[in-house]
Amino acid sequence: MLIKIGFDIELGVTAPTALIYMLQVHPSRAADIADGEHITITPPLHTDHYRDAFDNHCARVQVPVGVSSVRLRNEAVVFDTGWADPVDLGAMEHMPADLPVETLPFLLPSRYCEVDSELLQFAWNTFGQVPKGWPLAQAICDYVHQQLRFDYQRARATRTALEAWRERVGVCRDFTHLAITLCRCMNIPARYVTGYLGDIGIPPVPYPMDFSAWFEVYLGERWYTFDARHNTPRIGRITIARGRDAADVPITMIFGENTLQRFEVTTDEVV
């Protein structure tokens, strides 16, 4: 399967500044990109490329005096197997003492995932008797899917997992943060993922295309994909970045006053 991806994002600025973006496909999918990505910046500006601590592609754009807006565009075609997210009902949970050390940061509290809150006791009260491993991760995913109501109009960039749990509403990042937090409360490493997820293999949804958020949990000596927003295996996920939560993987970040003037995302199967 071939999937056409891309974006067209324009940000207005009022002063010289720097812009960081995480918009390239994750290095783990680099071999699947046909003819590379074609990122353009208008006007052409000096850009430094680097990898962060989670091996995500990042870039810093220097915005000088006299520039009032920066437009980022990209298009690419990505090969995908067309397989749905793998399911392994027998995937076992690891005791914290037996986990690979590189997974341990994904057990700890982070900016949007308050493991050290009332959610900790709630998680053990609610899920303490659920069989460990895949059944526990799926029970958490089921709970979050049922607990939160999806509503674009109620999106809020500062909403944490605890606030989403209390408010019972959110968008995909809120579903993801709450599920991650509950998994960490139950000693399952969980990490945040952002990327492309189009309406492939499902009826079209009545929302504008956007980047999506889901999460991965470490079971049975590997990372598995879960999605509390949709709560069903999906086809065509293309990862952009991974981190502890959304704070680690901002699509764009400008160090100063700015306005979003254009935001378009493309994720379509090539037929």
45-89 tens-digit pLDDT: 999 999 999 999 999 999 999 999 999 999 999 999 999 999 999
Which CATH number covers residue 13?
2.60.40.2250
Quick check: is 157 in a domain? yes
Give CA–CA dist 262/37, Å, rounded: 20
pLDDT of residue 85: 97
Q: Which residues contact 217 (CB under 8 A, 6 or more apart)?
A: 137, 183, 188, 189, 190, 223, 224, 226
Quick check: is 186 in a domain? yes
Q: Does a cis peptide bond (omega within 30 degrees of 0) precede residue 208?
A: no
pLDDT of residue 203: 87
Shared domain for 230 and 117, answered yes or no, is: yes
**Number of domains observed in the structure of the chain:** 2
Shared domain for 72 and 156, answered yes or no, is: no
Which CATH number covers residue 217?
3.10.620.30
- DSSP codes of every residue in 159-172: --HHHHHHHTEE-H
Q: Kindly provide the b/e burial profile for residues 7-29, where b requires at least 16 CB atoms within 10 angstroms of the residue's own CB.
A: bebbbebeeebebbbbbbbbeeb
Shared domain for 145 and 205, answered yes or no, is: yes
Domain containing residue 73: 2-82+251-269
Shared domain for 126 and 228, answered yes or no, is: yes
Q: Which helix (H) or strand (E) holds 156?
A: none
User: What are the pLDDT digits (tens) for 146-172?
Assistant: 999 999 889 999 999 999 999 999 999
**High-pLDDT (> 90) share of the chain, %:** 95
pLDDT of residue 205: 79
Quick check: is 87 in a domain? no
Average pLDDT over residues 35-42: 94
Question: Which pLDDT band, with edges at 50, 70 and 90, does 204 fall under?
Answer: confident
Shared domain for 234 and 168, answered yes or no, is: yes
**High-pLDDT (> 70) share of the chain, %:** 100
Question: Which pLDDT band, with edges at 50, 70 and 90, does 138 fall under?
Answer: very high
pLDDT of residue 43: 97
Quick check: is 56 in a domain? yes
Quick check: is 164 in a domain? yes
Q: Model pTM?
A: 0.96
Quick check: is 88 in a domain? no
Quick check: is 54 in a domain? yes
Average pLDDT over residues 214-225: 98
SS3 category, 84: strand
Shared domain for 100 and 78, answered yes or no, is: no
User: What are the pLDDT digits (tens) for 240-260?
Assistant: 999 999 999 999 999 999 999
Shared domain for 208 and 257, answered yes or no, is: no
Quickly list H helices, the chain: 118-127, 134-147, 161-167, 172-185
pLDDT of residue 209: 87
**pLDDT(207) > 80:** no
Give CA–CA dist 260/256, Å, rounded: 13
Neighbouring-strand partners of residue 41: 72
Would you state the structure tokens that stand for residue 178, as one six-digit string? 């709450």
Q: Which residues contact 63 (CB under 8 A, 6 or more apart)?
A: 13, 16, 17, 18, 19, 45, 70, 254
pLDDT of residue 229: 96
pLDDT of residue 261: 97
Quick check: is 119 in a domain? yes
Shared domain for 102 and 198, answered yes or no, is: yes
